[in-house]
Structure 1
Amino acid sequence: MEPSEKPILKVVNLNKQFGNGCSKCSNSKNRLEKNFCPECGTVYACQDISLELYKGEILGVVGESGSGKSTLLECLYFDKDITSGQAYINNYKNGRVNIFSESSQQKRFIKNNILGKVYQNPAQGLRMNFSSIGNIAENLISAGHRNVSKMEERGRELLERVNIPLSRMKEAPKNFSGGMQQRVQIAKALSNNPPVLLLDEITTGLDLSVQANVLDLIKEIQRELCISMIIVSHDLGVIRMLADRTVVMLNGKIIEKGLTDQILEDPQSEYTQQLVYSLL
């Protein structure tokens, strides 16, 4: 990856707050307890988040529960409206237009064609009563596909790719194990060949052996398809296995960023040091 290369995704000063703020916290974030205003109850979930993602790169976002990392992904995928900030995607209008200022119709286009997301809870990313292949077809239809046999062919190809037996493709994900549900979700997210994939805590709640299978699958897919990924996790072991570069979040802010190896071998902030030592 050349440093001079243009990022595929660039996020600039993204802010997301829950609550209107008051004169005390709006004027000075120093008055917050962690990222929470004790006066008015406003939560500053993301504070001036800026980052870049490059082609074919996996960027890890690590931090404890409540650090704002999942909110960041929800904002990038338009699951939540931002408070302020910009984001530019190279594959959308040559990276010249702030995606957050686009119309809801254009945001839908971006979700259906340029971004894919795999949720921590498969029930958020899948229709649990649809068939597995039906879930993939739904994504393809959203992106404008109409040829049924081509959609079925694409569905079969993806389910095979994520190791779901084709004998079960007409079965609903509610009948599947957690690990299989995550694999169907990955297949669905990949259906329209998105250049950017967002993954939120996707191994949480899975058995260790199942976690390893899901992580291996993600590495394989990333290598084969050269997709850029942002993977959010509270688990540094997951980040160590997957991420080229890592940002560390605490109380809604990025407190450290760098090459993953660098952060693991020589953590600068006290919080990152604690995270790394807890992994050893």
Structure 2
Amino acid sequence: MSVLEVPVLSVKQMSKQYGNGCSACKHMKSGKVTKNYCHECGTVYACRDLTFDLYHGEVLGIVGESGSGKSTLMKSLYFDEEVTDGELYVAGFEEGKKNVFMESAQKKRYVRNHLMGKVYQNPILGLKMDFSSIGNIAEKLISAGNRHVGSMESRGAELLEAVNIPVHRMTEEPRNFSGGMQQRVQIAKALSNNPPILLLDEVTTGLDLSVQASVLDLIKGLQRDLNISMVLVSHDLGVIRMLADRTLVMLEGKIIERGLTDQILEDPQHPYTQQLVHSLL
């Protein structure tokens, strides 16, 4: 198997539930369970047996309505939340042979700080709003073990310039910035330690259309120049069409369809995907 055929990230039968479950939902008794919610005990099955791979230089799109489990999946991949069950293998960690979900908090932090970057839908989750923009980047670099102030400053300036933050605003706090600029600072921070994997969670939601377009162009350019692997979550098929090589469609915590993005958009098989694609036309 060539290097390009070995996944940089592999998820196997990942599940995340909120609540302990009961006999009604464990056996999915009709009338007791609606979609992925149990009326008997209140358990929500946010992600159910998710399995997929991400390859070198690939953009994997994940699309679905609110509540489909997309953001829960992203929180789990970045260890913002613990999974209920499942396996995660990352190529740069223990030769991709150890289930990261079962590793210690320290080892998860290593994977998060060295092998991944994440851009959150809400910049408040990804940035310290009372730090300078360049200070936010330094924070990520320090987490990855960098201690050289001069190199952190030059790396921060280089990245902020790459995402079109004016030089004279680099020492300004992100809370003074527009939503689009905050997202660009988040992207710079996420890329600071050259991670092989970038997680993008609804990064254009709530932005004006012109700002959305500039952020998407930036992501597309960075992906092309750095050949980074990305997991891109969106409820917007236009965003998926522009950026994703392959796409997973999620509904009620499950993957209901997967394939090349063009194939899914031109010939959707599942009724829900057909409805999604039709709403875009």
Give TM-score scaled by structure 2 length. 0.97
Q: Structure 2: which amino acid aligns with 1:44?
A: Y
Q: Please state whether the residue corresponding to 1:21 is helix, strand or coil.
A: coil
After TM superposition, list the pairs within 5 Å mapping 1:1-280 onto structure 2.
Answer: 5-28=5-28, 32-280=33-281
**In 2: Cα distance, 1:3 partner to 1:244 partner:** 18
Q: Structure 1: which amino acid aligns with 2:24?
A: K
**In 1: Cα distance, 2:277 partner to 2:168 partner:** 43
Q: Give the gaps of 5 or more residues in structure 2.
A: none
Q: Structure 1: which amino acid aligns with 2:22?
A: C
Q: Please state whether the residue corresponding to 1:231 is helix, strand or coil.
A: strand
Q: Please state whether the residue corresponding to 2:205 is helix, strand or coil.
A: coil
Q: Structure 2: which amino acid aligns with 1:253?
A: K
Shift of residue 4, structure 1, vs aligned partner: 7.6
**In 1: Cα distance, 2:233 partner to 2:4 partner:** 26
Shift of residue 38, structure 1, vs aligned partner: 1.1
Shift of residue 28, structure 1, vs aligned partner: 3.0
**In 2: Cα distance, 1:230 partner to 1:118 partner:** 11
1:90-118 Cα offsets, whole Å, 9 max, x none, are 11111000000110001111111001100
Q: Please state whether the residue corresponding to 2:273 is helix, strand or coil.
A: helix
**In 1: Cα distance, 2:3 partner to 2:95 partner:** 19
1:117-171 Cα offsets, whole Å, 9 max, x none, are 0000000000001000000001101111011000000000000000000100000
**In 1: Cα distance, 2:145 partner to 2:117 partner:** 16
**In 2: Cα distance, 1:16 partner to 1:141 partner:** 31
**In 2: Cα distance, 1:71 partner to 1:201 partner:** 12
Aligned 8 A contact 2:201 2:232 in 1: yes
1:193-233 Cα offsets, whole Å, 9 max, x none, are 00000000000000000000000000000011110000000
Q: Structure 2: which amino acid aligns with 1:251?
A: E
Give TM-score scaled by structure 1 length. 0.98
Q: Please state whether the residue corresponding to 1:255 is helix, strand or coil.
A: strand
Which stretch of the first structure deviates more once superposed, 26-35 or 221-230? 26-35
Q: Structure 2: which amino acid aligns with 1:109?
A: Y
**In 2: Cα distance, 1:214 partner to 1:139 partner:** 21
1:246-276 Cα offsets, whole Å, 9 max, x none, are 0000000000000000000000000000000
Deviating 4+ runs (over 2 angstroms): 27-32
Which stretch of the first structure deviates more once superposed, 90-99 or 27-36? 27-36
C-alpha change, 1:78 and 1:101, in structure 2 (3 Å) is same
**In 2: Cα distance, 1:218 partner to 1:65 partner:** 23
Q: Structure 2: which amino acid aligns with 1:127?
A: K
Q: Structure 1: which amino acid aligns with 2:23?
A: S
Q: Please state whether the residue corresponding to 1:7 is helix, strand or coil.
A: coil
C-alpha change, 1:77 and 1:63, in structure 2 (3 Å) is same
Aligned 8 A contact 2:183 2:203 in 1: yes
Q: Give the gaps of 5 or more residues in structure 1.
A: none
Aligned 8 A contact 2:14 2:83 in 1: yes
Q: Structure 2: which amino acid aligns with 1:215?
A: L
**In 2: Cα distance, 1:240 partner to 1:95 partner:** 30
**In 1: Cα distance, 2:67 partner to 2:219 partner:** 25
Q: Structure 1: which amino acid aligns with 2:182?
A: Q
**In 2: Cα distance, 1:155 partner to 1:4 partner:** 30
**In 2: Cα distance, 1:166 partner to 1:34 partner:** 50
Q: Structure 2: which amino acid aligns with 1:210?
A: V
